Amino acid sequence: MSEVIEARMLHSRIQRLKKSNNILNVFIKREDELSFGISGTKIRKYKSLIPELKRKKINKILVIAGKNSNNLLAAAQLLTEAGFDAHFLIFGTKEWPSYYSSFDFFKLLIPADKIFWQSSEDWPQVEPISHSINKENLKNEAYILHEGAFSEHSLPGAMELYDSVLANQEEHQLKFDHIFMDSGSGLGASAFLIQYFLAGKINAHIHITQMAGGEEELFKAYEKCCSWAQNKKMLYGSEDINNFRQLPDLRTQEKVSVYKPSLAPSFGSVNSSVLKFVKQFAQEEGVILDPLYNAKAFHKASEVIEKNSLKGNTLLIHSGGALGLVGYLDQLRKLD
């Protein structure tokens, strides 16, 4: 990762949707434009993670990922660029389905002898399995990077999304009333929420579509991130905030709503309804969505907006990952 990217705040523009009117303005935050092949919010995590790993003189890394993880390709690109000896523990069958095209990109970057395969049924044992592989195959020298780059070192970079949204408000002289985002591991959403509660400069209602697991998964991720934030408060430039213990219980917050996707709710699943929504959105707004994450999140946002007759300025955060759509092109053609 270049020193330029490390040093400056990553910032993405907002785009006003055509469905906006005098009552409701809907914008997309184009995190997808931050990098090719790397989900937009992922590059923020690695912005702080990679310098910290280098500072600790860590060279070998074992990345944990499920086969539907957008972090798989992001880690392969960024860790290779930064010169790490990256190995991957992937939960899923070695014979990947033809539609999962992101793995073809992944194979361009990572040789087969650096991949450890594990049945997806063994996911509940991910901790002992990863430590065993590290000990037996990597001389116990590897830093174990969990699914979704879920690490305390990823948190500072992920927290910059809040600052970028705040900059969007200032640039366009508006205030967002509602902000919609998706969540996988929960670190990105938790990072935004921590800044949201601590800084208090954005007063929007936060809507989160949780892709993996239920809302309890997000609550646990948030609590873990809060503990990291409290232990390393000076890391975030929060000298004026003396008490991190004031971070609230997410379960009690009326201005935070958590949903499950309505379309293809099982994590990693894609059906014709998702692809129809992707195509319709592309033709109406000129924006290509990822079928695994933000297409489902944007569809849920549309439902919530209509059901609750939302008003004011609404922001949908496009988390990137559109390369995953490549494997579904044949199915999209059949929709004509």
pLDDT digits (tens, 9 = 90+) for 188-238: 999 999 999 999 999 999 999 999 888 999 999 999 999 998 876 644 444
Question: For residue 100, what pLDDT band results from cuts at 50, 70 and 90?
Answer: low
Tokens representing residue 34 in the block: 């931050």
- In this prediction, residues 129-153 reach a mean pLDDT of 97
Cα separation of the two ends of the chain: 41
- Alpha helices by DSSP H, listed for 118-268, are 126-137, 155-158, 160-172, 187-199, 215-231
What is the separation of C-alpha 112 from the centre of its chain, rounded to a whole number of angstroms?
26
pTM: 0.93
Report the alpha-carbon distance of residue 136 to residue 130 in Å, rounded.
10
Domains and CATH numbers, the chain: 3-38+153-333 (3.40.50.1100), 43-149 (3.40.50.1100)
Query: Which range among 60-64, 132-136, 218-222, 235-239 shows the weakest confidence by mean pLDDT?
Result: 235-239
Q: DSSP state, 176? A: -
- Alpha helices by DSSP H, listed for 70-121, are 71-81, 102-109
